[in-house]
Amino acid sequence: MMKFRFRRQGNDPQREKIKQELFAFNKTVEHGFPHQPCALAFDPQLQLMAVGTKSGAMKIYGSPGVEFTGLHRDAAAVAQIHFLQGQGRLLSLLDDNTLHLWELGGASRDRGGAKSEGVVYLEEKRNYSLLGRPGLESCSASRVTVLLLLRSCDLLCVGTEGGGIHFLDLPRLSLRDNQSLLLDQVMQSVPEDYRCGKSLGPVESLQEHPKQPGKILIGYSRGLVVLWDLSTCNAEHMFLGKQQLESLVWERSGSSFVSSHSDGGYSVWAVASGNTYTHQPVSSSIPYGPFPCKAINKILWRTIQSGCPVVLYSGGMPRASYGDRHCVTIQQDKQHVTLDFTSRVIDFFTVHTTDLEHDYDDPKALVVLLEEELVVIDLLTTGWPSVPPPYLAPLHSSAITTSCHLDNVPAKLWDRLAAAGNSQGAQPGVRHAHGSWPICGGKNLAPPPRQQELLLTGHEDGTVRFWNVSAVAMTPLYKLSTANVFHTDCDPNDDPLDPTNDPEALQEEEWPPFRKVGCFDPYSDDPRLGIQKISLCKYSCRLVVAGTAGQVIVLGLSDEWSDHTVDVSTVDLLQDREGFTWKGHDRLEPRASPAPFPPGFQPLVLVQALPPASVTSVMLHAEWNLVAFGTSHGFGLFDYHRRTAVLARCTLHPNDSLAMEGPLSRVKSLKKSLRQSFRRIRKSRVSGKKRPIPTPTSKIQEANAALADQEEVAPVQRRIEPRSADDSLSGVVRCLCFADTYLRDGTHHGPTLWAGTNSGSVYAYALEVPGVGSGRGRPGGEGSGCVEAVLGKEIQLMHRAPVVSVCVLDGRGKPLPEPYQASLDLATAPDMTNPHSVLIASEEQLKVFSLPKVGAKTKFKLTAHEGCRVRRVAMVTVCSTAQEDYSETSLVCLTNLGDLHLFNVPALRPQVRYDCIRKEDISGIASCVFTRNGQGFYLISPSEYQRFSLSAKVITEPLCTVELERPLETHISDDAAIPLRANGTHRNQAEGLTEDPQCGLSSPPPLSPLDSPLSMADVSLDTTGELTVEDVRDFLTSVDEVENNLRNITEEDGCSLGVLIT
């Protein structure tokens, strides 16, 4: 039977065509902040900023919406990036000592008949490995320390560890033979008494003379600075510094320069002509002295027409008291601010006038790239406020624990949220600067978004952040903190009114004048505050957030400040179950006194589940004023209008002891085992990631080594046993669902509540909601009586797999509309005349049952056929590219192998399958969230969402153009021809081996690189709140698999070689 179906479908060209018009998989854009950035550059001419990452990705940003990425073939960290100004080319230096020249390329893409212009990407044109001695790299004298691109853009000076300087022609990237400037040449001109027989050390800085092209300033580590004339190959001037040098910067006129040193001081040197040697600087100071200070790593000296020059430098803090701070100091005359960041300073630059006609720098803004965020300071406005960046938002300012997407957000809600967000932004120190965003290169060609989309992220510190994800640039809209509902031990730092938080007040007393800048704050006051589940009704502006300590908070939107106490209601989910004692954490203590709540979402009721286990699912039905929530012990139903609990149902299995332990102890042990497995990975990586040297002997050796390895390792075993009823955590409520449908008989429909558990049970309750239901009055009436819940059905799936989702389908097989959609005429009314059905998705199979009889109609046994398990499912409506009004509702299903399967509904026939996430990336898989129109997001690192699209029509991707001096080369290309573009996403070698044979259902998956930039050793469990035991088990097993795959690869190499020999 099924064979037939597949066959017929596979061969039906008509259907194939429709499928192609409907479905297409694209990874479109990365939102958030690049993981582990390590290089920064700016092109003042094009107004573009480049960020390089540890995984070899380069991301270019201009004005909001303008962004493009490039990815090095080797996953080596990007050490430096330099723009060839105005040319749309850039040079990157990797930490494997290779240089790469990149060029912006344009492409127009043929997508579904409509050409989309403006796909700009980076393409590697050339690369150069210095002196070709990679084997000796780390200690070698040829290791590159600094690069200097002359303004003419035709010559690259390369300073090395050994002190030599080499010259490369650009853009050919070829070495000028015999022109290298070696130490001996310089030494000849150094006076005898300075030499002391010591080396000058590595080249620390190279700076071109601002006025006289062809002259460069060379700074050696030991302190010697040489003004070198390239045309005459002659040292014009020597500055005999005694202090170890860190960086150099010219004053704009070229009459002086500034050097910064490892002792935390900086010196100003005058460049007077005629004098060959200068022994002393004009002035010298150690700003945070007199006690020993750390080095000033980089210094900038910017002149201003209207006053004293601005000095900006990083580091230099007193070693003993503030040596661990990450600081950048801005100093101008008497004004002095020490920007105090929460993460390491990678690099910084100023946006200033580069026009040669202009006599002053007049810096507009300071851009600081930190390890975890980007901070921009407006230098034109007094007080130097920070400017909120329109992109590169630090998603992970506290670890993301859950997320939730809403599309078609009504303008009313949007505006109120934006207003609430703006009032939050008006805090001191984060004030909105008047100046606009300083980096404004390129032109955004993307059409304005068709609808407003919201992404809500729940965080470990109890905040919920609302992001605008309507377009390519993901911007923060509003931030909600739930910590002030509770009484916590720590100072309520989240309280925006707290005067101790005011940096200006602190400034008076303290030296250095610290100012906290940025929002990255990974430390949570209390892990119990963590947000686990979110449900928002966009029409009624009701929000429910539920957290780690069993708290379920119902909030309403308000535009005014409010001072009120929050009603607290507890629901005991254990009921009178004997023999259980909760050993986990305590509940959070609700705040007794009224608290001030800022405009925005304000708490109405706090429902506390007991035992206070983490909430595992939550569902809001604002039209019925009901909220349902589930934990590992059971589920409850609460009427927040009447503030009464309607139902509490225990789902515990008597043998389930783990459910009583609480998550914290488990997390710890999970973390431990994860850590161990990471160690294993790291080990295997170290051994597996040998640089492939293409000699046959080494290959054989490797193969032999791999074989030997294999014999050592005890094989991994898996037990084959059916799930039993008393598996641990069987009572966890995995999903909840409200629906107006036929539960008890085929003639009367009414409100129902569905709950699915970890052990394959589904409970269906018929609800009596006053004013709702057949034959009753209109909703909204002050109906008397309470909501009642009557158990209607219990379904036990025989395979006992966890129920991932329950969804009721109407008479046409379409999912029921959201609350209010039908009553407000925002969606087509559900078909209530034909029989309804319910789609129950478990981890193992998808099944549609008829209602009210609950007879099986269709099913698809995914695990039995594919060996993969369902992790996430969602109903998506995908529009056709060909016909404007044609759309199909599909069930999309993300599996533990990281692939996406699409099924039609209710027939549950497989439509397409795409590889999406690496199966090792459990936090990626656990974080995936789908939109209703066929897009999705998942975390590729703690700080970045990858956005993807399953729809051929709805694609949110950067479309932009950059005005260059040279014409932008334009290719007409299909997607596959575009080079690697995702962030650090190298295709895992092991992947191709196991995945490819089975991906053939219909359209082959596009050649999209599999994510993610994480070297797996860096995954922190904290980033996802929804890891289940299975996830971890999956992960642990997949680790072994990786090892095995690696082994297999090497083994195969060995084998094929053997064939060659014979």
Partner 1 sequence: MNKNHRVPSNRTLGAVEVKSKFGAEFRRFSLDRSKPGRFDEFYRLLQHMHRIPNVDLLVGYADVHGDLLPINNDDNYRKAISVADPVLRLFLQRKEEADYSAFGLDTLTRPKKTVLAAMLLRPDANRKKPLVIISLPRDFRPVSSIIDVDILPETHRRVRLYKHGQEKPLGFYIRDGSSVRVTPQGLEKVPGIFISRMVPGGLAESTGLLAVNDEVLEVNGIEVQGKSLDQVTDMMIANSHNLIVTVKPANQRNNIVRSGGAASGSSGHSSDSGTSFYGYSSPGIALATTPADIIQNFHPEELESDEDDEDLVMEVDGEAMPIPRTSSASCTIPFIPRYMPHLDLRTTNGALASHNRSGSLRTLSTADSGLEGRSLEEEGTVITL
Which residues, numbered 1011-1050, are part of the site for partner 1 (CB under 8 A)?
A: 1034, 1037-1038, 1040-1041, 1044, 1048
Q: What is the DSSP letter of 50?
A: E
In the complex with partner 1, the residue whose CB is nearer, 563 or 578, is: 578
C-beta contacts of 780-785 below 8 A and 24+ residues apart: none
Q: Does 1 bind partner 1 (CB under 8 A)?
A: yes
Least Å distance, CB 1055 to partner 1, is: 6
Instruction: Pick out residues in 654-673 that bind partner 1 (CB under 8 A).
Output: 654-655
Least Å distance, CB 749 to partner 1, is: 17
> What single string gives the DSSP state of each residue in 305-316?
TTEEEEEEEEE-
Instruction: Pick out residues in 552-581 that bind partner 1 (CB under 8 A).
Output: 575-577
Q: Which of 869, 872, 947, 986 binds partner 1 (CB under 8 A)?
A: 869
Rg (CA), the chain: 31
Q: Which of 135, 290, 997, 1061 binds partner 1 (CB under 8 A)?
A: 997
In the complex with partner 1, the residue whose CB is nearer, 199 or 657, is: 657
**Residue 687 CB-half CA count within 13 A:** 17
Contact mark string toward partner 1, 253..292, x via CB under 8 A: ----------------------------------------
Q: Rounded to 5 degrees, what are φ and ψ at 1037?
A: -75, -35
Give dist(CA 464, CA 482) in Å, integer.
Answer: 8
Handedness of CA 715, 720, 726, 728 (dihedral sign): positive
Q: Which of 571, 573, 529 is nearest to 732 (CA)?
A: 573
Q: Which of 233, 505, 786, 790 binds partner 1 (CB under 8 A)?
A: 790
The one segment of 116-124, 264-272, 790-798, 1012-1020 that binds partner 1 by CB under 8 A: 790-798
Dmax of the chain from CA atoms? 105
Q: Does 1062 bind partner 1 (CB under 8 A)?
A: yes
Q: Which of 799, 814, 971, 987 binds partner 1 (CB under 8 A)?
A: 799
Q: Does 704 bind partner 1 (CB under 8 A)?
A: no
Least Å distance, CB 853 to partner 1, is: 8
In the complex with partner 1, the residue whose CB is nearer, 343 or 904, is: 904
Give dist(CA 636, CA 574) in Å, integer.
Answer: 10
**Number of Cβ within a 10 Å radius of residue 498:** 11
Asked if 558 and 426 count as a contact pair (C-beta separation under 8 A), the reply is no
- Token couple for 479: 């931030």
Contact mark string toward partner 1, 609..648, x via CB under 8 A: -------------------------------------xxx
Q: Does 992 bind partner 1 (CB under 8 A)?
A: no
Total residues contacting partner 1 (rule CB under 8 A)?
A: 77
In the complex with partner 1, the residue whose CB is nearer, 576 or 885, is: 576
Find tokens 């509540």 and name the residue. Answer: 753
Q: Which of 634, 667, 802, 664 is nearest to 727 (CA)?
A: 802
Q: Which of 721, 782, 884, 885 binds partner 1 (CB under 8 A)?
A: 721
Bridge partner residues of 945 (DSSP): 31, 939
Q: Which of 325, 723, 971, 987 binds partner 1 (CB under 8 A)?
A: 723
Least Å distance, CB 633 to partner 1, is: 12
In the complex with partner 1, the residue whose CB is nearer, 407 or 1051, is: 1051
Instruction: Pick out residues in 147-206 that bind partner 1 (CB under 8 A).
Output: none
In the complex with partner 1, the residue whose CB is nearer, 521 or 702, is: 702
Q: Which of 113, 197, 715, 775 binds partner 1 (CB under 8 A)?
A: 715
Least Å distance, CB 685 to partner 1, is: 19
In the complex with partner 1, the residue whose CB is nearer, 250 or 914, is: 914
Secondary element (H or E) of residue 425: helix 411-425
Contacts of 704 (CB under 8 A, 6+ apart): 1054
- Token couple for 425: 């932004």
In the complex with partner 1, the residue whose CB is nearer, 581 or 833, is: 581
Q: Does 855 bind partner 1 (CB under 8 A)?
A: yes
In the complex with partner 1, the residue whose CB is nearer, 2 or 505, is: 2
Least Å distance, CB 855 to partner 1, is: 6
Q: Does 865 bind partner 1 (CB under 8 A)?
A: yes
Q: Does 861 bind partner 1 (CB under 8 A)?
A: yes
Least Å distance, CB 862 to partner 1, is: 8
Q: Is 764 helix (H, G, I), strand (E, B) or coil?
A: strand
Length of the chain in terms of residues written: 1062
Q: Which of 652, 809, 928, 950 binds partner 1 (CB under 8 A)?
A: 652
- Token couple for 610: 């007991």
Instruction: Pick out residues in 884-913 that bind partner 1 (CB under 8 A).
Output: 897, 910, 913
Instruction: Pick out residues in 484-543 that bind partner 1 (CB under 8 A).
Output: none
CA distances from 324 to 339, 501, 562, 677 (A): 14, 21, 40, 31
The one segment of 347-355, 608-616, 848-856, 1006-1014 that binds partner 1 by CB under 8 A: 848-856
Q: Which of 720, 747, 885, 967 binds partner 1 (CB under 8 A)?
A: 720
Q: Does 795 bind partner 1 (CB under 8 A)?
A: yes
The one segment of 393-401, 482-490, 665-673, 717-725 that binds partner 1 by CB under 8 A: 717-725
Check residue 69 and give left, alpha or beta (phi > 0: left; psi -120 to 50: alpha). Answer: beta
Contacts of 193 (CB under 8 A, 6+ apart): none
In the complex with partner 1, the residue whose CB is nearer, 637 or 879, is: 637
> What single string gives the DSSP state of each residue in 239-296?
EE--SPEEEEEE-TTSSEEEEEETTS-EEEEE--TT-SEE-S-SEEE-TT-SS-B--E
Q: Does 1000 bind partner 1 (CB under 8 A)?
A: yes
Q: Does 858 bind partner 1 (CB under 8 A)?
A: no
Q: Does 686 bind partner 1 (CB under 8 A)?
A: no
Q: Which of 663, 661, 656, 634 is nearest to 729 (CA)?
A: 656
Least Å distance, CB 717 to partner 1, is: 4
Q: What is the DSSP letter of 399?
A: -
In the complex with partner 1, the residue whose CB is nearer, 643 or 814, is: 643
Instruction: Pick out residues in 7-66 that bind partner 1 (CB under 8 A).
Output: 7, 10
Give dist(CA 510, CA 531) in Å, integer.
Answer: 36
Q: Which of 866, 887, 964, 1057 binds partner 1 (CB under 8 A)?
A: 866
Instruction: Pick out residues in 729-748 that bind partner 1 (CB under 8 A).
Output: 744
Q: Would you call 32 exposed, middle or buried from its count of C-beta atoms within 10 A (0-12, 13-18, 19+)? A: buried
Q: What is the DSSP letter of 318?
A: B
Least Å distance, CB 698 to partner 1, is: 20
Angle at alpha carbon of residue 677, lines to 676 and 681, rounded to 5°: 120
Q: Which of 282, 308, 716, 1017 binds partner 1 (CB under 8 A)?
A: 716
Q: Does 2 bind partner 1 (CB under 8 A)?
A: yes
Q: Which of 169, 149, 147 is nearest to 158 (CA)?
A: 147
The one segment of 257-265, 440-448, 786-794, 885-893 that binds partner 1 by CB under 8 A: 786-794
CA distances from 711 to 155, 1036, 1044 (A): 54, 21, 12
Q: Does 844 bind partner 1 (CB under 8 A)?
A: yes
The answer to whether the bond into 852 is cis (omega within 30° of 0) is yes
Q: Does 649 bind partner 1 (CB under 8 A)?
A: yes
Asked if 804 and 734 count as a contact pair (C-beta separation under 8 A), the reply is yes
**Number of Cβ within a 10 Å radius of residue 1007:** 12
